Amino acid sequence: MENMNQETTKGLGIHARRTIAYVVLAIVTFFCLFWFYVLFINATRSNGELQAGFSALPSNNLIKNWTNLVNGTLPIWSGLLNSLIVATASAALCVYFSTMTAYAIHAYEFKAKRFIYPFILMIMMIPTQVTALGFVQLVSKMKLEDSFIPLIIPSIAAPVTFFYMKQYMESSLPLSLIEAARIDGSGEFRTFNTIVLPLMKPAIAVQAIFTFVSSWNNYFTPALILHDDKKKTLPILIAQLRSADWLKFDMGQVYVMIAFSIFPVIVVYLILSKHIVQGVALGSVKG
Protein backbone atom coordinates (compact mmCIF):
# COMPACT_ATOMS: atom_id res chain seq x y z
CA MET A 1 0.00 0.00 0.00
CA GLU A 2 2.81 2.34 0.92
CA ASN A 3 4.58 1.56 -2.37
CA MET A 4 1.39 2.35 -4.29
CA ASN A 5 1.09 5.69 -2.53
CA GLN A 6 4.71 6.51 -3.33
CA GLU A 7 4.20 5.61 -7.00
CA THR A 8 1.04 7.71 -7.13
CA THR A 9 2.81 10.68 -5.53
CA LYS A 10 5.74 10.27 -7.91
CA GLY A 11 3.38 10.12 -10.89
CA LEU A 12 1.59 13.27 -9.77
CA GLY A 13 4.93 15.01 -9.29
CA ILE A 14 6.04 14.13 -12.81
CA HIS A 15 2.70 15.25 -14.21
CA ALA A 16 2.92 18.56 -12.32
CA ARG A 17 6.47 19.23 -13.54
CA ARG A 18 5.45 18.39 -17.10
CA THR A 19 2.47 20.73 -16.88
CA ILE A 20 4.65 23.56 -15.54
CA ALA A 21 7.18 22.97 -18.31
CA TYR A 22 4.45 23.14 -20.98
CA VAL A 23 3.04 26.34 -19.48
CA VAL A 24 6.46 27.99 -19.37
CA LEU A 25 7.22 26.91 -22.96
CA ALA A 26 3.84 28.23 -24.10
CA ILE A 27 4.52 31.62 -22.47
CA VAL A 28 8.03 31.84 -23.97
CA THR A 29 6.69 30.85 -27.39
CA PHE A 30 4.00 33.50 -27.19
CA PHE A 31 6.47 36.27 -26.40
CA CYS A 32 8.84 35.09 -29.13
CA LEU A 33 6.13 35.02 -31.80
CA PHE A 34 4.20 38.08 -30.62
CA TRP A 35 6.72 40.54 -32.05
CA PHE A 36 6.62 38.84 -35.44
CA TYR A 37 2.84 39.19 -35.33
CA VAL A 38 3.16 42.90 -34.50
CA LEU A 39 5.64 43.34 -37.36
CA PHE A 40 3.38 41.78 -39.98
CA ILE A 41 0.31 43.62 -38.63
CA ASN A 42 2.13 46.94 -38.81
CA ALA A 43 3.21 46.15 -42.37
CA THR A 44 -0.48 46.29 -43.35
CA ARG A 45 -1.07 49.73 -41.81
CA SER A 46 -0.50 53.20 -43.23
CA ASN A 47 1.84 55.77 -41.75
CA GLY A 48 -1.10 57.68 -40.29
CA GLU A 49 -2.55 54.57 -38.66
CA LEU A 50 0.84 53.72 -37.16
CA GLN A 51 1.17 57.22 -35.75
CA ALA A 52 -2.27 56.85 -34.15
CA GLY A 53 -1.12 53.97 -31.95
CA PHE A 54 -1.00 50.20 -31.64
CA SER A 55 -3.66 47.93 -33.11
CA ALA A 56 -3.82 44.13 -32.96
CA LEU A 57 -5.96 43.95 -36.10
CA PRO A 58 -4.55 44.13 -39.65
CA SER A 59 -5.41 46.98 -41.98
CA ASN A 60 -5.71 47.11 -45.78
CA ASN A 61 -2.61 49.09 -46.76
CA LEU A 62 -0.19 46.21 -47.33
CA ILE A 63 -0.34 46.36 -51.14
CA LYS A 64 -0.07 50.16 -51.11
CA ASN A 65 2.95 50.07 -48.78
CA TRP A 66 4.60 47.42 -50.94
CA THR A 67 3.90 49.35 -54.15
CA ASN A 68 5.33 52.55 -52.69
CA LEU A 69 8.41 50.64 -51.53
CA VAL A 70 9.04 48.90 -54.86
CA ASN A 71 8.48 52.09 -56.85
CA GLY A 72 10.68 54.13 -54.54
CA THR A 73 14.31 55.11 -54.94
CA LEU A 74 15.81 52.17 -53.02
CA PRO A 75 16.90 49.10 -55.08
CA ILE A 76 15.37 46.49 -52.79
CA TRP A 77 15.63 43.61 -55.27
CA SER A 78 19.34 44.14 -55.79
CA GLY A 79 19.66 44.50 -52.01
CA LEU A 80 17.96 41.12 -51.58
CA LEU A 81 20.30 39.53 -54.12
CA ASN A 82 23.34 41.13 -52.49
CA SER A 83 22.31 39.87 -49.06
CA LEU A 84 21.72 36.37 -50.42
CA ILE A 85 25.15 36.28 -52.09
CA VAL A 86 27.02 37.53 -49.03
CA ALA A 87 25.09 35.44 -46.48
CA THR A 88 25.17 32.20 -48.50
CA ALA A 89 28.86 32.44 -49.42
CA SER A 90 29.81 33.41 -45.86
CA ALA A 91 27.85 30.50 -44.38
CA ALA A 92 29.36 27.97 -46.81
CA LEU A 93 32.97 29.10 -46.34
CA CYS A 94 32.60 29.56 -42.59
CA VAL A 95 31.27 26.08 -41.82
CA TYR A 96 33.63 24.31 -44.24
CA PHE A 97 36.88 25.87 -43.07
CA SER A 98 35.84 25.98 -39.39
CA THR A 99 35.09 22.27 -39.58
CA MET A 100 38.44 21.68 -41.29
CA THR A 101 40.25 23.64 -38.57
CA ALA A 102 38.46 21.74 -35.82
CA TYR A 103 39.29 18.45 -37.58
CA ALA A 104 42.99 19.35 -37.75
CA ILE A 105 43.16 20.07 -34.01
CA HIS A 106 41.01 17.05 -33.17
CA ALA A 107 42.74 14.47 -35.36
CA TYR A 108 46.42 15.52 -35.42
CA GLU A 109 49.09 15.74 -32.78
CA PHE A 110 51.67 18.53 -33.14
CA LYS A 111 53.75 20.69 -30.82
CA ALA A 112 51.73 23.91 -31.11
CA LYS A 113 48.37 22.16 -30.59
CA ARG A 114 48.12 23.10 -26.91
CA PHE A 115 48.69 26.78 -27.77
CA ILE A 116 46.62 27.12 -30.96
CA TYR A 117 43.34 26.04 -29.38
CA PRO A 118 43.32 28.69 -26.59
CA PHE A 119 44.70 31.27 -29.03
CA ILE A 120 41.73 30.78 -31.35
CA LEU A 121 39.38 31.05 -28.38
CA MET A 122 41.07 34.31 -27.34
CA ILE A 123 40.09 35.80 -30.70
CA MET A 124 36.45 35.43 -29.61
CA MET A 125 37.07 38.12 -26.99
CA ILE A 126 38.00 40.81 -29.53
CA PRO A 127 34.98 42.91 -30.62
CA THR A 128 34.58 43.69 -34.30
CA GLN A 129 34.53 47.42 -33.57
CA VAL A 130 38.09 47.31 -32.20
CA THR A 131 39.57 46.19 -35.52
CA ALA A 132 37.14 48.10 -37.75
CA LEU A 133 39.41 51.08 -38.46
CA GLY A 134 42.38 48.98 -39.50
CA PHE A 135 40.13 46.70 -41.52
CA VAL A 136 38.62 49.61 -43.46
CA GLN A 137 42.09 51.04 -44.14
CA LEU A 138 43.27 47.66 -45.43
CA VAL A 139 40.22 47.33 -47.66
CA SER A 140 40.78 50.83 -49.01
CA LYS A 141 44.45 50.16 -49.78
CA MET A 142 43.50 46.93 -51.57
CA LYS A 143 40.84 48.86 -53.53
CA LEU A 144 38.12 46.43 -52.45
CA GLU A 145 35.49 48.99 -51.46
CA ASP A 146 32.05 48.32 -52.95
CA SER A 147 33.06 44.67 -53.20
CA PHE A 148 31.66 41.59 -51.46
CA ILE A 149 35.11 40.04 -51.00
CA PRO A 150 35.87 41.83 -47.67
CA LEU A 151 32.49 40.66 -46.36
CA ILE A 152 32.87 37.01 -47.42
CA ILE A 153 36.54 36.03 -47.07
CA PRO A 154 36.99 37.10 -43.39
CA SER A 155 34.07 34.83 -42.45
CA ILE A 156 36.44 31.88 -42.96
CA ALA A 157 38.01 32.73 -39.58
CA ALA A 158 35.10 32.15 -37.19
CA PRO A 159 36.27 31.17 -33.67
CA VAL A 160 32.74 30.60 -32.37
CA THR A 161 31.92 28.17 -35.18
CA PHE A 162 35.27 26.44 -34.73
CA PHE A 163 34.64 26.00 -31.00
CA TYR A 164 31.22 24.45 -31.60
CA MET A 165 32.59 22.10 -34.26
CA LYS A 166 35.44 21.04 -31.99
CA GLN A 167 33.04 20.23 -29.16
CA TYR A 168 30.79 18.30 -31.51
CA MET A 169 33.72 16.27 -32.88
CA GLU A 170 34.76 15.20 -29.41
CA SER A 171 31.37 13.56 -28.92
CA SER A 172 30.66 12.15 -32.38
CA LEU A 173 33.93 11.62 -34.29
CA PRO A 174 36.05 8.77 -32.87
CA LEU A 175 39.73 8.85 -33.82
CA SER A 176 39.57 5.11 -34.52
CA LEU A 177 37.35 5.84 -37.52
CA ILE A 178 39.95 8.23 -38.94
CA GLU A 179 42.74 5.71 -38.34
CA ALA A 180 40.73 3.01 -40.10
CA ALA A 181 40.28 5.29 -43.13
CA ARG A 182 44.01 5.97 -43.22
CA ILE A 183 44.81 2.27 -43.03
CA ASP A 184 42.47 1.67 -45.98
CA GLY A 185 44.55 4.16 -47.98
CA SER A 186 42.22 7.16 -47.87
CA GLY A 187 43.95 10.53 -48.28
CA GLU A 188 43.45 13.29 -45.72
CA PHE A 189 41.22 15.47 -47.90
CA ARG A 190 39.20 12.47 -49.01
CA THR A 191 38.78 11.36 -45.40
CA PHE A 192 37.63 14.84 -44.43
CA ASN A 193 35.24 15.34 -47.34
CA THR A 194 33.71 11.85 -47.52
CA ILE A 195 33.78 10.67 -43.90
CA VAL A 196 34.06 13.62 -41.52
CA LEU A 197 31.69 16.06 -43.24
CA PRO A 198 28.75 13.58 -43.47
CA LEU A 199 29.14 12.76 -39.77
CA MET A 200 29.15 16.47 -38.97
CA LYS A 201 26.02 17.20 -41.00
CA PRO A 202 23.76 18.18 -38.04
CA ALA A 203 26.39 20.53 -36.61
CA ILE A 204 27.12 21.96 -40.05
CA ALA A 205 23.42 22.64 -40.61
CA VAL A 206 23.14 24.45 -37.27
CA GLN A 207 26.21 26.62 -37.79
CA ALA A 208 25.31 27.31 -41.42
CA ILE A 209 21.97 28.71 -40.25
CA PHE A 210 23.52 30.79 -37.48
CA THR A 211 26.22 32.15 -39.80
CA PHE A 212 23.67 32.87 -42.52
CA VAL A 213 21.45 34.81 -40.12
CA SER A 214 24.42 36.69 -38.61
CA SER A 215 25.70 37.70 -42.05
CA TRP A 216 22.19 38.53 -43.27
CA ASN A 217 21.58 40.89 -40.33
CA ASN A 218 25.08 42.41 -40.35
CA TYR A 219 24.94 46.18 -40.73
CA PHE A 220 28.17 47.48 -39.21
CA THR A 221 30.81 46.11 -41.59
CA PRO A 222 28.85 46.44 -44.87
CA ALA A 223 27.99 50.04 -43.99
CA LEU A 224 31.72 50.84 -43.78
CA ILE A 225 32.61 49.20 -47.09
CA LEU A 226 29.61 49.43 -49.43
CA HIS A 227 28.83 52.91 -50.78
CA ASP A 228 27.14 52.18 -54.11
CA ASP A 229 23.37 51.72 -53.68
CA LYS A 230 23.39 48.79 -56.10
CA LYS A 231 25.94 46.99 -53.92
CA LYS A 232 24.29 47.60 -50.57
CA THR A 233 22.65 44.85 -48.55
CA LEU A 234 19.15 44.97 -47.07
CA PRO A 235 20.12 46.13 -43.53
CA ILE A 236 21.80 49.21 -45.03
CA LEU A 237 18.78 49.95 -47.22
CA ILE A 238 16.47 49.62 -44.22
CA ALA A 239 18.60 52.11 -42.29
CA GLN A 240 18.47 54.51 -45.25
CA LEU A 241 14.69 54.16 -45.43
CA ARG A 242 14.35 54.90 -41.73
CA SER A 243 16.61 57.97 -41.96
CA ALA A 244 14.68 59.52 -44.84
CA ASP A 245 13.55 63.16 -44.72
CA TRP A 246 10.55 63.56 -42.42
CA LEU A 247 8.42 64.80 -45.31
CA LYS A 248 9.02 61.51 -47.16
CA PHE A 249 9.18 59.26 -44.11
CA ASP A 250 6.65 56.42 -44.24
CA MET A 251 6.67 53.99 -41.32
CA GLY A 252 4.42 51.60 -43.26
CA GLN A 253 7.15 51.17 -45.88
CA VAL A 254 9.71 50.59 -43.15
CA TYR A 255 7.67 47.76 -41.66
CA VAL A 256 7.03 46.22 -45.08
CA MET A 257 10.73 46.27 -45.88
CA ILE A 258 11.66 44.74 -42.51
CA ALA A 259 9.09 41.98 -43.07
CA PHE A 260 10.43 41.51 -46.60
CA SER A 261 14.01 41.25 -45.31
CA ILE A 262 13.33 38.65 -42.60
CA PHE A 263 11.07 36.44 -44.69
CA PRO A 264 13.96 34.45 -46.27
CA VAL A 265 15.42 33.87 -42.80
CA ILE A 266 12.09 32.55 -41.51
CA VAL A 267 11.88 30.18 -44.48
CA VAL A 268 15.39 28.86 -43.77
CA TYR A 269 14.54 28.28 -40.11
CA LEU A 270 11.31 26.45 -40.95
CA ILE A 271 13.06 24.16 -43.44
CA LEU A 272 16.07 23.33 -41.26
CA SER A 273 14.56 23.58 -37.77
CA LYS A 274 14.88 19.84 -37.12
CA HIS A 275 18.61 20.08 -37.81
CA ILE A 276 18.90 22.89 -35.26
CA VAL A 277 17.34 20.78 -32.50
CA GLN A 278 19.30 17.66 -33.44
CA GLY A 279 22.61 19.47 -33.79
CA VAL A 280 22.30 21.42 -30.55
CA ALA A 281 21.26 18.30 -28.62
CA LEU A 282 24.08 16.15 -29.97
CA GLY A 283 26.70 18.87 -29.80
CA SER A 284 26.02 19.48 -26.12
CA VAL A 285 26.68 15.85 -25.16
CA LYS A 286 30.30 14.80 -24.85
CA GLY A 287 31.17 11.13 -24.99
With H, G, I as helix, E, B as strand and everything else as coil, classify residue 167.
Answer: helix
DSSP string, 57-83: S--S-HHHHHHHHHTSSS-HHHHHHHH
Asked if the model's pLDDT at residue 1 lies above 60, the reply is: no
**Distance, CA of 242 to CA of 157 (rounded, Å):** 32
pLDDT digits (tens, 9 = 90+) for 197-228: 888 888 888 888 888 888 998 888 898 899 88
**Distance, CA of 228 to CA of 216 (rounded, Å):** 18
**Distance, CA of 269 to CA of 86 (rounded, Å):** 18
CATH superfamily of 65-283: MetI-like (1.10.3720.10)
Residues 6+ positions from 216 with CB-CB distance below 8 Å: 83, 87, 234, 235, 261, 264, 265
Angle at which helices 159-172 and 113-123 cross, to 10°: 130
- Greater model confidence, 1 or 133: 133
pLDDT at 26: 92
Q: What residue spans define the domains of the chain?
A: 2-62, 65-283
pLDDT digits (tens, 9 = 90+) for 92-116: 999 999 999 888 888 888 777 778 8
Any idea what DSSP says for residue 226?
A: -
Is the pTM higher than 0.85? no
